[in-house]
Amino acid sequence: MSANLIGLLMEATWQTLYMVAVSAVLGAAFGLPLGVFLATSQRGELLSRPLVNRVLGLVVNAARSVPFIILVVAIIPFTRMIAGTSIGTTAAIVPLTIAAVPFIARLIENAIREVDSGLIEAARAMGATPLQIIRKVLIPEALPSITLGLTLAAVSLIGYSAMVGAVGGEGLGDLGIRYGYQRFMPDVMAVVVIILIVLVQLVQSIGEWIAAKVDKRAPKGRGQ
């Protein structure tokens, strides 16, 4: 493999990391509060807003039901309005973020719902407000599950980032298509696949390590 191709692989890897990192942060910024609201806004819950809950739930389900490759094409005008272009790394962040938000929201909702309801009742009995319960009980207790959920979202975004290469996005997917497929260079395709696998394993391992660190229920070692 030539030095030029090695340089292209390094650049494509950086582009993929940039797309995934930015879209994951933006997706979490919007998806986390949305997921918390969905988990606490049904009738009789902390932030009881059943009508708003149902409407948001329908929107989230609709967004999640659209295949990603179709979503990328369907929102090209919106992507062009936000990023100024519909191709390239920065443009790819728009559909990646839109795909990440409902996915993360559902993961956060499930994580919050796993918290023991007895803890909520105990906090209520002590006079805590709904926001205090969310901030000091629900989120801390659900933090390990939230961390694993965000890790799953980041892993999914790595796969999505490869798909945008088929529609003008940059990164490893674009390199694999242009060189590995269109120019019949199977060695490039193999290296791209290997790098993607390594990235997924690395993100998954880091996420699991962080989740174990923040899990208060995890058994401590002897002598600690």
CA distance 172 to 17: 10
Please indicate, yes or no, if residue 222 is contained in any of the structural domains: no
Q: What contacts 75, CB < 8 A, 6 or more positions away?
A: 94, 95, 98
pLDDT tens column, 75-109: 999 999 998 888 888 999 999 999 999 999 999 99
Which range is least confidently modeled, 32-46, 60-74, 88-102, 209-223? Answer: 209-223
Structure tokens at 26: 């933006």
pTM score, whole prediction: 0.89
Please indicate, yes or no, if residue 182 is contained in any of the structural domains: yes
CA distance 175 to 16: 11
Please indicate, yes or no, if residue 136 is contained in any of the structural domains: yes
CA distance 86 to 75: 9
Please indicate, yes or no, if residue 138 is contained in any of the structural domains: yes
Please indicate, yes or no, if residue 219 is contained in any of the structural domains: no
CB 154 within 8 A of CB 82: no
CA geometry: angle 147, 149, 154, nearest 5 deg: 95
Please indicate, yes or no, if residue 153 is contained in any of the structural domains: yes
pLDDT tens column, 1-33: 677 888 889 999 999 999 999 999 999 999 999
CB 16 within 8 A of CB 174: no
CATH code assigned at 155:
1.10.3720.10
Please indicate, yes or no, if residue 133 is contained in any of the structural domains: yes
Please indicate, yes or no, if residue 16 is contained in any of the structural domains: yes
**Tally of domains within the chain:** 1
DSSP letter for 47, please: T
- Please state the three-class secondary structure of 98-150 as a single string: HHHHHHHHHHHHHHHHCCCHHHHHHHHHCCCCHHHHHHHHHHHHHHHHHHHHH
For 82, the domain range is: 3-115+126-214
